[in-house]
Amino acid sequence: MRRYFGTDGIRGIINQDLVPDIAFKVGNALSVLKRYPVVLIGRDTRQSGDTLALCLASGVCSGGGNVIDVGIVPTAGVAYLTKYFNADYGVVISASHNPAEYNGIKIFNSRGFKLLEDEEEEVESCFNTTNLISHPKLGSYKKMDTAVDFYVSYLVKTCGCDLSGLKVVLDCANGAAHYVAPEVFKKLGAEVLQYFTENSGIGININCGSLHPEKLREKVLSKKADVGFAFDGDSDRLLAVNEKGEYVNGDLLIYALAKDMHVKGQLKGDMVIGTHHTNMGIQKALDSDGIKLFRADIGDKYVMEMMLKKDAVLGGEQSGHIILLDYMTTGDGILAAINIAGMMKKENKKLSEFCDVKMYPQTNINIQVKDKIRIMNNEELAEFIDACRKELGGSGRVLVRASGTEPQIRVMVECEYCDRGKETAERIADFVRNINN
């Protein structure tokens, strides 16, 4: 059973849950699993990124592996560059959308896919076996900050559309997108207004990015922009704001892409992979367009697993993880953004015209808890949730789950009747709080 890995790699508060020794063990484990591996390492802008990246590199090199450190790069950039340089593993040092005091470790295989759960268990199984290679077979460490430009060039090439005439606002979350996103849009000809592009790491995700799009909305309206895009710390999430100042989440963006790809004959199998969080309104709209929605467990790795199983090319989450498998092996916020912008330019339409869907109101509540596993195994809670589902009947859905990255229980109630959904969600949240106390 995995102790360190959650739904998206290892995640925790630096020097509390996540100490440098863990990074060393991860790096060294890769040299146990494969003799003399080449390991590519990238990170977001967090101050703790240097410490973890160097410790991980030390673990690799001490086991005889060679390291290519590409510096600050979006998560999808690491996936792409791992294949580009024929590396055996790609490692991202990032805590994605979490605050600056958090950090994390994600691992990609040589094909640019995140490790499966059993593969993560293999990594952990090596933590008790330190592989130390004697001189002169120690590995080497190579810094290559310019490698990010290969990823930039690839994104520009995939768009295949001149974006001149579009005024685009970008919120880079003071994270890994700070250079890549503006550079890509500028190379494609768009007029770019860029914000939150600090790379010190201090302000990463703080009142900015895909979880805090209020300032993006202000800028889109005040600058009379065509569209705004907000990324998270490692740029694997995307949220948009349309020309009216309305928020456009991952569900709506996936719907817009699916419909466009379907019309052009690019949507393989006429299917999309979502999650149990995907809005019922999206499912109904897709059905009316002749597109099937399949629901995976929440977490982009589970979306990817189902995409591979079903042979689908488009999938993602309401949170803004969007996977375009014809172009990238993981969620890529910048890739999704240029595809949305390209769609707008080619069709000469506003984003609001692509997202005309009647959504079911959703209430989401996150409850901080001491022991999320104990709470999720509580039989009384399970019985209460079942009773709430029966009360809603066919008018709504209930989803209660433990966060894969934080000590939280997440409650989602989706109901055709907004007040009823909110009331149900609050009742479940109160039940969880009582158990926690």
- Per residue in 237-285, pLDDT (tens digit) is 999 999 999 999 999 999 999 999 999 999 999 999 999 999 999 999 9
* In a shared domain, residues 339 and 380: no
Q: How many residues does the chain have?
A: 437
Residue among 341, 312, 190, 370 nearest 253 (CA): 341
Of 319, 354, 389, the one marking the end of a domain is: 354
How many of the other CB atoms lie within 10 Å of CB of 434? 10
Strands (E), 234-361: 238-241, 247-248, 271-275, 292-296, 314-316, 322-324
Tell me the residue type at 174: N
Catalytic choice (58, 96, 319, 403)? 96
Question: What average pLDDT does the chain have?
Answer: 95
Q: What is the largest CA-CA distance in the chain?
A: 69
* In a shared domain, residues 252 and 331: yes
Instruction: Summarize pLDDT for 26-55 with one digit per residue, the tens.
Output: 999 999 999 999 999 999 999 999 999 999
- Count: domains in the chain: 3
pLDDT of the residue at 1: 57
* In a shared domain, residues 9 and 158: no
CB-based contact 213:238 (threshold 8 Å): no
pLDDT of the residue at 272: 98
For residue 424, pLDDT over 70 is answered with yes
For residue 137, pLDDT over 80 is answered with yes
* In a shared domain, residues 133 and 199: no
* In a shared domain, residues 15 and 72: yes
Would you call 58 a catalytic residue per the annotation?
Answer: no
For residue 160, pLDDT over 90 is answered with no
Of 143, 176, 201, the one marking the end of a domain is: 143
Q: Which domain CATH number covers 194?
A: 3.40.120.10
What's the domain range around 399? 362-436
404-419: b or e for each residue (b if 16 or more CB lie within 10 Å)? Answer: bbbebbbbbbbbeeee
Instruction: Give the CA distances from residue 203 to residues 45, 175, 320, 435, in Å, rounded to whole numbers and listed in that order.
Output: 9, 8, 21, 35
Residue among 421, 304, 436 nearest 363 (CA): 421
pLDDT bin (cut points 50, 70, 90) of residue 194 is very high
* In a shared domain, residues 428 and 292: no
Find out whether the peptide bond into 182 is cis, omega within 30 degrees of 0: no
pLDDT of the residue at 171: 98
> What is the mean pLDDT of the segment spanning 294-319?
95
- The DSSP code sequence of 167-190 is EEEEE-TTTTHHHHHHHHHHHTT-
pLDDT of the residue at 221: 98
What values do phi and psi take at 308, rounded to 5? -70, -40
